[in-house]
Chains A and B, each alone.
Chain A
C-alpha cells in the first residue's frame, strides 16, 4: 500500500463546477503539499499546510491530521484548471517528500 493515496485518479468536470480532490496518507506528517502539473510538465507548488485550511484565489486546501486526510477544492472551475494535481507528504523528522500518483483533472467548457 502506498503511503499516499489520491482519489479520484481521473476527474472530468464541466466549467463552473465545484471540484474536490482527496489525499489520504498513512504516516505521521510534519507537512502536506499540493502541487499542480500542467500539460508540458512544469510542477508548481500550490499549498503547504500542516493544519487547518489555506485559501488562494479559487483554490482551498484543508487537512485533518487526526484522520490523515487532506482535500483540495476548486471553486468555479475553469478549463485552465485542467492539470494533474499531486499530493505529497513530509514525515515527522523527515527531509524527503513522498508523492501520491496524482489526479488528472479535465475541465470542459
Chain B
C-alpha cells in the first residue's frame, strides 16, 4: 500500500471554527490532491499541489485553502467551517499529473460541522 496517512480520521466541530486536515505521504510523489466525497456527487477536487509551494484550485475550492511547505505534507484548511462542508475528505497522491499515472488514496477523514 502507498504510504499515505490522514489526520485526524474523524472530527466533529462547530460552525465558524477553523479546521485543518493533514495529509502525509512517504512516497515522495510530486502531486497531491484533496477531494471531498458526498452522496450523489462522487469525488470532487478541492485543491491540488504539483510541488512544494505550488498549488491550484479544483472545482469546489470556495471556503478552503491549502499549503504545502514540504513534499510529504499537504494541509487543507477550512478557515470558518460551515455545515455544507460536512463531508468525507480524501487525500491522494500521484507521481505525475499529466501522464495518466495512478492516484493512490489515503484512508479519508470524516468531518462533521454542527
**Taking beta carbons and an 8 Å cutoff, which residues of A are in contact with B?**
4, 30-31, 33, 35, 41-45, 48, 50, 86, 88, 90, 93-97, 99-102
Q: Which B residues lie within 8 Å of A50 (CB)?
A: 100
Q: Is the CB of B103 within 8 A of A93?
A: no
User: Interface residue tally of chain B, by bracket?
Assistant: 20 to 34
Q: Is the CB of B45 within 8 A of A42?
A: no
Q: Which B residues lie within 8 Å of A30 (CB)?
A: 98-100
Q: Which A residues lie within 8 Å of B90 (CB)?
A: 43
Using known A-B contacts A42-B108, A45-B104, determine if residue A95 contacts B40 with beta carbons closer than 8 Å. Answer: no
Would you mind naming 11 contact pairs between A and B with Cβ atoms under 8 Å apart?
A: A33-B103, A41-B88, A41-B108, A42-B108, A45-B102, A45-B103, A93-B98, A94-B98, A99-B44, A101-B41, A102-B42
Does residue B58 face the partner (Cβ distance < 8 Å to A)?
Answer: yes
Q: Is the CB of A33 within 8 A of B31?
A: no
- Near A by CB (< 8 A), chain B positions 69-97 give 88, 90, 97
Most-contacted residue by chain A among B43, B44, B88, B104 (CB, 10 A): B43
Q: Which B residues lie within 8 Å of A96 (CB)?
A: 33, 45, 48, 58, 97
Q: Which A residues lie within 8 Å of B33 (CB)?
A: 96
Q: Which B residues lie within 8 Å of A97 (CB)?
A: 43, 45, 103
Q: Which A residues lie within 8 Å of B41 (CB)?
A: 101
Using known A-B contacts A90-B100, A95-B31, determine if residue A42 contacts B105 with beta carbons closer than 8 Å. Answer: yes
Chain B min CB distance to A43 (Å): 4
Chain A min CB distance to B87 (Å): 12
Q: Please name the residue on chain A nearest to B104 by beta carbon.
A: A45
